[in-house]
Amino acid sequence: AQTVTQSQPEMSVQEAETVTLSCTYDTSESDYYLFWYKQPPSRQMILVIRQEAYKQQNATENRFSVNFQKAAKSFSLKISDSQLGDAAMYFCAYRRGYDMRFGAGTRLTVKP
Amino acid sequence: DTGVSQDPRHKITKRGQNVTFRCDPISEHNRLYWYRQTLGQGPEFLTYFQNEAQLEKSRLLSDRFSAERPKGSFSTLEIQRTEQGDSAMYLCASRPPTRDTWVGELFFGEGSRLTVL
Residue B46 exposed, middle or buried by CB count within 10 Å (0-12, 13-18, 19+)? buried
**How far, in Å, are A11, A21, A25, A107 from residue A7 at the CA level?**
10, 9, 11, 11
pLDDT at B1: 55
Residues of B with CB under 8 A from a CB of A: 3-4, 31, 33, 40-45, 48, 55-56, 91, 103-106, 108-111
Alpha-carbon span A75 to A81, nearest angstrom: 20
HSE-CB for B4 with a 13 A CA cutoff: 28
Residue B100 pLDDT greater than 80, yes or no? no
Residue B54 pLDDT greater than 80, yes or no? yes
Contact A100 B106 (CB under 8 A): yes
pLDDT tens for each residue of A34-70: 999 999 987 889 999 999 999 889 999 999 999 999 9
- Most A CBs within 10 A among B103, B105, B112, hence the mutation to make, goes to B105
CA distance A39 to chain B (A): 10
Angle at A68 between CA A64 and CA A73, to 5 degrees: 135
Partnered with residue A64 across adjacent β-strands are: A61, A79
Residue B65 — φ and ψ, nearest 5°? -100, 135
Residue A1 pLDDT greater than 60, yes or no? no
* Average pLDDT taken over every residue of chain B: 92
pLDDT at B48: 93
- Most B CBs within 10 A among A44, A54, A99, hence the mutation to make, goes to A44
pLDDT at A2: 62
- Most A CBs within 10 A among B106, B110, B112, B113, hence the mutation to make, goes to B106
Closest CB to A50: pick one of B3, B31, B104: B104
- Model confidence at B2, pLDDT cuts 50, 70, 90, reads confident
pLDDT at B83: 96
Least confident segment among A42-56, B33-47, B97-111: B97-111
For B40-68, what is the mean pLDDT?
A: 91
Residue with more model confidence, A16 or B98: A16
pLDDT tens for each residue of B77-99: 999 999 999 999 999 999 988 87
For A3-10, what is the mean pLDDT?
A: 95
Residues of B in contact with A104 (CB under 8 A): 40-42
For A87-99, what is the mean pLDDT?
A: 93
Residue A79 pLDDT greater than 90, yes or no? yes
Contact A104 B111 (CB under 8 A): no
